[in-house]
Structure 1
Amino acid sequence: MIGHELGGRYQVIERIGGGGMALVYRAHDILLNRNVAIKVLRNQFVHDEEFIRRFRREAQSAASLSHPNVVSIYDVGQEDEIHYIVMEYIEGKNLNEIIKERAPLQVDESVRIASQICDALDHAHQNQIIHRDIKPHNILIGRNGRVKVTDFGIARAVTSTTITQTGSVVGSVHYFSPEHAKGVTTGEKSDLYSLGIVLYQMLTGVLPFLGESPISVALKHLQEEFEEPRLLNPLIPQSVENVILRSMRKNPEERYQSAKEMLQDLETCLLPERRSESKALFNDDEDEDRTRVIPAIKPMQRGLGSRGGGEDRMRREAEEPPAGSGKRRWGRPVLWISLTLLLLLAMGGVVWYVNAKLVVDEVAVPKVTEMSFEEAKAELAKVGLIAEEPALQEYNPNYEPDEVWKQSKDPDTIVKEGTHITLTVSTEKTLPQMIDLSGKPYEEAVKLLIAEGVEQKRITQDPRYSEDFPEGQVISSEPAVNSEYDPETATIKLIVSQGKETTPIPDLVGKTQADAKAMLEAAGLVLGEIKEESSFSVEAGLVLEQWPYEKGDTASPGEKINITVSTGYPPEALEYTYDVPVAPLAEGQKTKIRIIYADARKDGENQEWGTRTIAKSQKLSVNLVLAPNKDGSISVYQDGEFVETYTIRYSDAKNGTVPEPEPPVQHTPEPTQAPTDIPVSADPTIEPEILPPSTEGGANTETGD
């Protein structure tokens, strides 16, 4: 049926219920764009005229009613062998599901539901319709709390000759009225009896009559008294119990005379002046339907009167000896004696049978708490008691799962054999699901968890980098969202964002390309674009520049770092070697010579060439790199005293016209003004530091002779 389109307008979506006669589906009315419920007659009954008539009667019965507490009928149809009824779709649950989940219900809620059912029955009865199958399964509770009575499948007009045919009792046996169980004509008061049982079940969580078979339950409706609801639930006011007691009288004449009368009682039973009213009493002696033991009828002795002569005559005739033999004389008394003995034996057997059926032994209820349900069931069976199945289930922190922690009758209570005992077993603790905290600030997430019952000391923080969540927001939790956890014991870990992960940028300048790549990979970065550029200051093959991040900056892992690699000196650069003449202060006297030069390298800054100790005049070669916009210069010091500066122009070096330097004069030089930008030792007696050999200047620090 799912996916089928009935009548060209009802698209069947899903199955939502069903009973013994029909299945119920949720469908969409394409024409009116609304959801509807469709009841479809089961396939096994499509050829049964009686069921088809009953099915159509439901539509006719409900369609004749228009009341806010009765499910509305929209349409009736037949397609091939599919008989269906289209009715109002109620979003919610039926009363049977609610009783299973939450029974016993609150008194005011139960009375409110019963009042709405009674109001619906009053409307139906005024329209000459008897429901005949009032039970929680046929009571729908919408999400707005509105009660809707449905399933008029066995309803019939009051004017019908009989509702229950011989050998065919229809309805739900646990909610039968006594007259319904007998198979006699049922009327409005039969619906009120069933409503009383529904109210009883809502307030106590149990049915008034239970048995091993439908027949045994029906007999209890006829013969037995139910346990008063206030004994099962002391919170029920006496005024509410009176409503139940009156509606469930076995004699219809003692019940409410109409649904309107019962509705008025329900609407006032919770008023303060009525809640503590006295218990309703009924005269059970006048109940003709009540089961009773009838004493044997004794024959009356006839008086001595005008008939005495006849009796004397019969006595005389009996005393006169018969004309026949002796055997004939004794035959008649023996026959009467034998018949009398047989009658007495039969009567004794009947009395014994009745006593066996009516007199039930009483037993003490054993204690079965702290046992498993099966153990408790067996323990009750030992003394002739019956454990109600299925057992009620409710979590109790002091008991293990499937362990009985409550019994409807206290231990040592005296009850009849065969009494049903309701047991409540503990279940696994119902655990809540972890709420979704992702995207919330950490402080707010902690407050929400505390509201759920988690102690703050059991909430921990785990900072992590995140590309998707700003700093301080919760990324996820452990336990994960929607997973079950125990707020009373669980430790909650919140994964909190530190923002995007960053790493310091290493200094790549002066490193080879291979070294730069290795350093970036070690930092979680990637070598990006590689450019080449000439340089006076950086050797060929070494990194000249890095961008867009420099040393000391930070970047996210995976970022690309670009570099510029030096190709060496530019084409216009000129390498020139200048021979510097040097001499000792006096021939044969050891003198320390220090040379400082400046050229196009390192932006023209002064650089140490080195020192050499000499004792005779000679020339020292200094390698220079000259550029069109940068000439070279060489300054010479003797024992820390400035001697002279030589300038080498780029144009002269390129044209080969650099003048030859004049040899220095060997005498103690007069103090002259040294260049201000050349470092000179303040104390001439302290020798300058001997620098390591320069690969660029070609100088040595060897001592010459």
Structure 2
Amino acid sequence: MDTTLTDPLVGKLLDGRYRVESRIARGGMATVYLALDIRLDRTVAVKVMHRSLAEDPAFVRRFIGEAKSVASLSHPNVVHVFDQGTDGDNVYLSMEYVPGRTLRDVLRDRGRLPAREALEVMIPVLAALGSAHQSGLVHRDVKPENVLLADDGRVKVVDFGLARAIEATNQTRTGVMIGTIGYMSPEQVTSGAADARSDVYAAGIMLFELLTGRQPYEGDTPMSVAYRHVHDTVPVPSALLPGSPPLLDTLVARATARDPANRPADATALLVAAVDAHRMLPRESGPVPSVPVGPPHTHETTVSAPPAPANHTLIQPRVELPTGPVSDQPAPVPPARRMSGARWFLLALAVVMVIAVGVTGWLFSQNTTIVVPSALVGKNITVATSEARQRGFTVEEGEAEHDEKVPKGSVLRTDPVAGTEAEPGSKLILIASAGPKRVAVPNVVGMTEPQARSRLAEDSLVAGKVRKQASDTVPRGQVMRTVPAVGNPVKEGSKVDLVISAGLLMPDVMGMPRDQADGVLRGAGFVPEFVEQTDAAQPCTVIAQDPRPKAETDKGAVVRLTLSQCASEWHWPWENNGEQPPGDGGNVVQIPNIMFKDFRAARDELRAAGVTVKLRRTLGKGRVLAQIPPGGQTVPVGTEVTIWY
């Protein structure tokens, strides 16, 4: 029975964009489908995660983050990730479609590969891993199942970041190790930690398998294999395959060292050694054959794009080879015969490719520099230090610098800057961010305004608005407080407002009777002096004052008041002339005594009594301090009564 026909996704439109045509492969974590991107009209491979993973929120969050990181990789030997999304219960990746086979399929058919051919597969794999390592990505699950051999001879690495996303799931919290046990480095087994050197270890195991046809460790259970990875030293290929080139023994031994510090720092370093080994291997007679590929198998992997331009993968044009046991010895040369034009062309092409391999190997062997990665900036300083050392730098931490955007403890910049080529072992200085710089508002209380401005400038701050406020405790002209308050942290260059004491404000006692004016001024801390003046309408009231009302002054200041002439008894002007008081036929009212009442209540009481009210603010404390005419006087209805508060 064709399982494709029963797959519910086949024939469906995924996420409104990908029309699923058929199922390519199914594995432990995902199913891969051939699909058409109807928006861009291109064939893609869609990897749909199994529902057990898609239902885990931690996996989905990590999966999305890793997909974004992998999508930024642009390398001819990396399967490109186009898109990521969810459609109901389906969490998926859209990738380039690579028609071909996996390296596992080839090993299953052929058993093992000759030395040069094994290196010609590993070199593009290491180039892909090296590009990822330079971008700060670690594959974590390097194995033949994740290496694709396209029909056109290209080599592609797939599933970057998927293992890291799996680590976020509930499975890891139940003790399940993430990765494939036969290729898992000792540090992954013991602590779950993985970095670029873990990928190097797995690549070394894969090279061993390509050369010998088997993995170095076998056991009845996965844990027994894991135990040997931790406690045993990986044997060299010649131990299983006598006559295997010593160069490849050395390459495998370096890559699979149990101590990560003894391995190449990343895949790029191992790539240089692999290219150098390929260059030094004896030449085989005739063209170097490629790994034969056939129709796609139903194994988990997948995926690729249209043929890419020529690259340095060192994979030659496809040539069919027998699928029986392989020997590293040159095949016997058949008797010479007349060559057709097509054979001459193939021979010339083979010669050109051999020369290209040699030149490429020489170029790789000359590349002894390392590049300062841009991925260090923004990372925690401890993590960045570890990664830089893995890449071959001698790391020093410079003095931290303040920055408004980069969090404290993260790398702000490097010296030399990212992209700079350097010799292995060169010094790399990491400058960490000290976080945003903040300055405490200095204590300028009690200073004059010029003194406060000068003190603020010493701390790179600026005086902002200056506001005056009356005070009977702080001397006039001195700073009472700041906004923000003293001690608060602010950015350099911030404005700090100053509130300066205006001292005492001179009360307004104009028009007030002498006794009441005297009481108000003395109560406010002033010393009144009175001078009488004649020709005033109302006797014994203030007709002038110095300092003027609301003037800034100090406590204890002398206030000179000019009074209208005081009489022994006060009378309304009409009473002295025998006239009738103004009003409608002698309609009079008695003014209530509203002294020391709340001025609002006093105003309402006076209005209720039938007089009009004029308010005069003097100290502004809300209580009536004086009134004229005084309470108890009989006055015509509508007479104006002035009250001071």
TM-score bucket of the superposed structures, by smaller chain? 0.3 to 0.5
Greater Cα radius of gyration, structure 1 or 2: 1
**TM-score w.r.t. structure 1 length?**
0.37
Higher-RCO chain (CA-CA 8 Å, sequence separation at least 6): 2
